[in-house]
Chains A and B, each alone.
Chain A
Amino acid sequence: MAVDAGTTAVTSLAAACDDVREATDADAVDAVQPGFVVRPGSTEETTGVLRVAAERGLAVVARGAGTKLTWGTPPERVGLMLDLTRMAAVLDHAAGDLVAVAQAGCPIAHLQQTLAASGQRLAIDETLPGSTLGGGIATNSSGPRRMLNGTFRDLMIGTTVVRADGVIAKSGGRVVKNVAGYDLGKLMTGSFGTLGVVTDAVFRLHPLPAASGVLSADIRDSGILAAMVRAIVHSDVVPTAVEVDWSAAGGRIAVLLEGTEAGVAGRTAAARELLARAGPAEVDVDVLEQLPRWWGRYPDGVLLKLSCALSGVERVLREAAALGVAVRGSAGVGVLYGGIPVDADVTGAVTALRATCTASGGSLVVLDAPAAVKSTVDVWGPVSALELMRAVKRQFDPHRLLAPGRFVGGI
């Protein structure tokens, strides 16, 4: 399709949405410079913008707060940066139904603030400061509390999506229990913006716990760390999260318990006993007043997402440490985040750790790295059912206009 770039594109975009500007260097995604930045204020405006993009063959990358814009492989081209930050509202909070509806550009923290006024929350952690719901959905990013409550995939019960051709499609609804039709929300979750633009979503909420308890222990030996993880995971204390922070120098475990005042007191004592018994006598198990500083924060460096079966956690921690990779994350579910120093042998570490994760029923993805590093490693690794995924992409975005090249297998 011939694109008459410049004024005519701007004119048609401006007709769809009056908040259009030419892009600057600051809008580049992995050094790929967009032509324009458009900030639609509604689902309808998003439709208009995507129609223009489709007519003109402009590739579209959606952006919220931009905290994860360099995740995934670099896009092949970006004609249009679709900035969703004007769509930042909490549209509805039905407290009695434990349901909320919010726009994609809504910062997670803002939603939480709104919900907290009624003693509720979306049981999903803000993994990077300022990040939005849309970015969380696109990457299915998750933090420590996933252990008890699941991820976006589990808590999103309805979605509004604008397709590459501008058509608006809804799926799910406002009730938690609902099996009418396909669950397009699951398909969108973690799709890195390659199938459609989620403009708003409905979430299942949880009550804010009345009390919480935090336990932590510093440990030198990965075997002891793993034994402590097992002691909690296979117990009756129902932890909200079991996190580890590990490197060649040793590390620590932290356990979060949430519930009623009296319940948490008893469970914290029980969990402390379990941790103490899992390790040698000289390891102290501390009750912390608040979550430790490293809690839920990604390690520095080239950022990896490592997943494995629970029984593989110990081996992944050990091998990561041996390769100089610092690891943090949800050992209680088998989802960890690794950080490789940028000047280290990234390819070697990725290859070795990927083999370990794969052997344990999991995978390794290079989430975030400088574009130069990403060009030298296999970012996504082997993906099963790739042909079906390509077929889905062909249906939703036959002209490859949505974040082309950013996802698995070059999708």
Chain B
Amino acid sequence: MTSTHGTTKTAGPEVGPTPPEQTAATGQNGDGPQIQAVRRRVRDLLPAEVVVTDHARLRTYECDGLANYRVTPALVVLADSVDQVATVIRICAEERVPFVARGSGTGLSGGALPRADGVLIVMSRMRAIREVAPEDQRAVVEPGVVNLDVTKAAAPHGYYYAPDPSSQQICSIGGNLAENSGGAHCLKYGFTANHVTGAEFVAPDGSVVQLGGRAPDAPGYDLLGTVIGSEGTLGIATAVTVRLTRKPEDVVTVLAGFESTDDAGAATSAIIGAGVVPAAIEMMDALAIEAAEAAVHCSYPDGAGAVLVVELDGPTDEVRQEFDEVERHCREHGAFAFRVAKDDVERALIWRGRKSAFAAVGRISPDYIVQDGVIPRTALPKVLRAIAELSSSSGVRVANVFHAGDGNLHPLVLFDDSRAGQGEAAEEVSGKILDLCIEAGGSITGEHGVGVDKSAYMPRMFTDDDLDTMQMVRCAFDPDNIANPGKIFPTPRLCGEVPGRHRGEHPLAKSGVAEIF
């Protein structure tokens, strides 16, 4: 069984049959004089065990969680320390060779897709939790530390790390920082950007700087806030100071079954409209429920056209009040089943259905695309109906799983790649869903990132001036465009003359890929 994520047809480095190794976004020559020089110099300066040059081993890093883009990197460095990261980046800068950072490789937009002509810097060996300081509500961790391990380290002190992407058992803090990861509970608690206060950071010239700190509001530009979510295109964080959040006194998890997604959506709006901010409100439609049942037997209500998972947390006195509101609004909007988790086991069962949903659709379809789009919450019924119409008119099945509270949709577009034309049809539907999101005033990505997968969609959401302005930041950090080039932006911006540095024509200008602004 294969799983396809992403939208290969409509987005990515280059549309069409060209293998990614041969496109501008991922580099072409894996054995040019520059990369050879980098290989030689890195071997000279770094211990042999952290440098990977063997082709078979290099190939194991050819993709991240978005497996339909594959590029074998020219060189892999398994960094052990900030010094090693800085050394490699400095060499890359001097030789003008691109580098890409990779954490656990769970990203779903190809943000850690290697460059054929570049170095992949793997951060997963830097996994020390340097400090847990509950008295300061902070922890200092290395970027390879797994998200859930921060929470585990903080738990004995009554604290946890709030951002909880569904891959939290394997994804790394460095990757979270690069992608500004959210999770089911970001409705109430916010994203990585709201929970990181400082970072040790290696800029694309190899210099090591401190961004932010342990205290809030460091003076100067908020470079930290700018770096978070920049998908590795501004440099690499080598240590991260995170904010720890007090564990809530009480957690209540509810499963409500509805006849239709319209009813479940109306209940969601009513709950939010009543002034309740739950920790999470998740929705699944009938097809997603069917898949989850087949995979994990989560015992969701029979015959439900949609289920809502609502989680409330906070002081017991508040949660009790909010629970009454949630129950009332669910029942008023036609919930025919309303189940409350009695203990952690039942809570886990409710969440298991939701969290397994992506993998579970593999039970009902040989291939699928995970989409990630955002709409204003009030547009939910309209957009869901439009997706249903799109599905019936195209004959492509779409299972809907999403963070209903903040309008972050994860439609799963199902297809069978062994049957001619189905893959293309699925990709077309997937792309049209993004168009629906943009038309509704939303976003092309709520948490998976742009990466290589959606760079072609950026001009639908932003003007050339918007993108040009964003790339001014890029030019400040990375004038030679060597930090994860080819990601986010469909057209690189050349940064003009860097004082004191003059070279020949930029290769991107020469090949006609980029224009000089």
Contacts and interface: CB of A to CB of B under 8 A. Distances in A.
A238 B315 contact: yes
Given A187-B221, A238-B314, A207 B443 contact: no
Contacts of B406: 175-177
Interface string B196-236: 00000101000101110111111111110110111000000
Contact of A163 (B220, B376, B469): B469
Interface string A162-201: 0100011111011111111111101101110001000000
A180 B477 CA distance: 19
Contacts of B468: 167, 169
B443 A335 contact: no
A363 B222 contact: no
Interface in A327-346: 333-335
B275 interface: yes
Given A181-B450, A395-B476, A361 B213 contact: yes
Nearest to A206: B277
Interface in A343-396: 357, 360-363, 365, 380-381, 383-389, 391-392, 394-396
Nearest to A259: B318
B466 A171 contact: yes
Interface stretch (A49-57, A260-268, A285-293): A260-268
B393 interface: no
A190 B226 CA distance: 12
A190 B315 contact: no
Given A97-B377, A170-B463, A181-B450, A384 B222 contact: no
Contacts of A150: 190, 194
Interface stretch (B134-142, B354-362, B416-424): B134-142
A10 interface: no
A392 B449 CA distance: 23
B472 A189 contact: no
Contact of A180 (B201, B461, B463): B461
B320 interface: yes
B458 A96 contact: no
A408 interface: yes
B211 to A, nearest CB: 6
Contact of B320 (A119, A230, A262): A262
Nearest to B441: A174
A311 interface: yes
A237 interface: yes
Given A263-B317, A361-B215, A391-B476, A175 B446 contact: yes
B443 A97 contact: no
A206 B277 CA distance: 8
Contact of B445 (A179, A191, A311): A179
B317 A266 contact: yes
B272 interface: yes
B186 interface: yes
A384 B211 contact: yes
A230 B408 CA distance: 37
A180 B444 contact: yes
B223 A389 contact: yes
Contact of A311 (B135, B277, B495): B135
A164 to B, nearest CB: 11
A264 B230 CA distance: 40
Nearest to B376: A97
B234 to A, nearest CB: 8
B447 interface: yes
Contacts of B194: 150, 154
B179 interface: yes
B153 interface: no
A208 B194 CA distance: 21
A210 interface: yes
A165 to B, nearest CB: 10
A146 B458 CA distance: 33
B473 A187 contact: yes
Contact of B275 (A151, A186, A207): A207
B492 interface: no
B447 A391 contact: no
B249 interface: yes
Given A307-B215, A310-B137, A263 B225 contact: no
B472 A395 contact: yes
Contacts of B322: 260
A266 B315 contact: yes
A357 B219 CA distance: 13
Given A175-B443, A309-B214, A181 B467 contact: yes
B315 A267 contact: yes
A399 interface: no
A385 B211 contact: yes
25 contacts: A96-B378, A173-B443, A174-B442, A179-B229, A181-B467, A183-B225, A184-B473, A191-B222, A207-B276, A209-B275, A236-B249, A236-B315, A259-B315, A259-B317, A263-B318, A267-B317, A267-B318, A310-B136, A334-B136, A365-B219, A389-B220, A389-B221, A391-B476, A395-B473, A409-B220
Given A154-B190, A179-B180, A381-B219, 10 more contacts: A150-B194, A171-B470, A183-B193, A186-B226, A189-B222, A209-B275, A307-B218, A335-B215, A363-B217, A392-B477
